[in-house]
Chain A
Amino acid sequence: MLHFLLEPLNYEFIRNAIAIGLLVGILCPVVGSYLIVQRMALLGDVIAHCVLPGLSISFFFGIDILIGAFGSGILGAFLIAWIRSQTRVKVDAAMALTFSTFFALGVTLITVLENKLDLDSFLFGDILGVTAHDIQRTLVIASLILLVVKLFYKELLFYTFDKTGAQAIGLPIHTLYFGFMAAITLTIIASMQAVGVILVISLLVGPALTAYLLVKELHQMMMVGAVIGAIASISGVYLSYYRNLPSGPAIVLVSSSLFLLALLFSPSQGLLTQPEMVNRSARIFRRFKPAERSDSP
Chain B
Amino acid sequence: MLEVQQLAVNYRGVRGLEPVSFRVSPGQLVGIIGPNGAGKSTLLKALLGLVPAAGGVVRYCTCPLHQQLERVAYIPQRSQIDWDYPITVWNVVMMAQTRQLGWFRSPGRAAKAIVKAALARVEMLNLRDRRISELSGGQQQRVFLARALAQQADLFLLDEPFTGVDQKTEAILLEVFEELRSQGKILLLSTHEWGQSLNQLDRLLLLNQCLIADGSPQQVMTPKNLRQAYGTHLGNPLHQDLETSFFC
Q: Chain A: residues with CB nearer than 8 A to chain B?
A: 37, 39, 151-152, 154-155, 157-158, 160-162, 164-165, 167-171, 212, 215-218, 220-221
Contact = CB atoms under 8 A, between A and B. Distances in A.
B86 A221 contact: yes
Given A168-B48, A168-B50, A162 B69 contact: no
B69 A168 contact: yes
B21 interface: no
B81 A162 contact: yes
A215 B86 CA distance: 8
Interface residues of B, number: 29
Contacts, number: 76
B82 A39 contact: yes
Contact of A212 (B50, B72, B86): B86
A158 B76 CA distance: 13
Interface string B77-96: 00011100111100110110
Interface of B: 45, 48, 50, 69-70, 72, 74-76, 80-82, 85-88, 91-92, 94-95, 98-99, 101, 103-104, 106, 131, 151, 157
B87 A151 contact: no
Contacts of A37: 82, 85-86
Contacts of A221: 86
Contacts of A168: 48, 50, 69, 72, 74, 76, 157
A220 B80 CA distance: 24
- Interface class of chain A by DSSP: helix
A161 B104 CA distance: 19
Contact of A154 (B69, B95, B151): B95
Given A39-B82, A154-B95, A161-B85, A170 B69 contact: yes
Contacts of B87: 157, 161, 216-218
Complex A-B, nearest 4 residue pairs according to Cβ-Cβ distance, in ascending order = A168-B74, A170-B69, A216-B131, A169-B99
Q: Which of B50, B86, B98 has the most CB of A within 10 A?
A: B86
Given A169-B99, A216-B131, A217-B131, 8 more contacts: A157-B95, A161-B82, A161-B85, A164-B50, A168-B72, A169-B151, A216-B87, A218-B87
Given A170-B69, A216-B86, A162 B98 contact: no
25 contacts: A37-B82, A152-B103, A154-B94, A154-B98, A154-B106, A155-B98, A157-B95, A161-B81, A161-B82, A161-B85, A162-B80, A162-B81, A162-B95, A164-B74, A164-B76, A165-B95, A168-B74, A168-B76, A169-B69, A169-B74, A216-B86, A217-B88, A217-B91, A218-B85, A218-B86
Which of B50, B76, B95 has the largest number of chain A CB atoms within 10 A? B95
Contacts of B75: 165
B88 A216 contact: yes
Contacts of B72: 168-169
A154 to B, nearest CB: 5
B92 A170 contact: no
Contacts of A155: 98, 103
Nearest to A268: B131
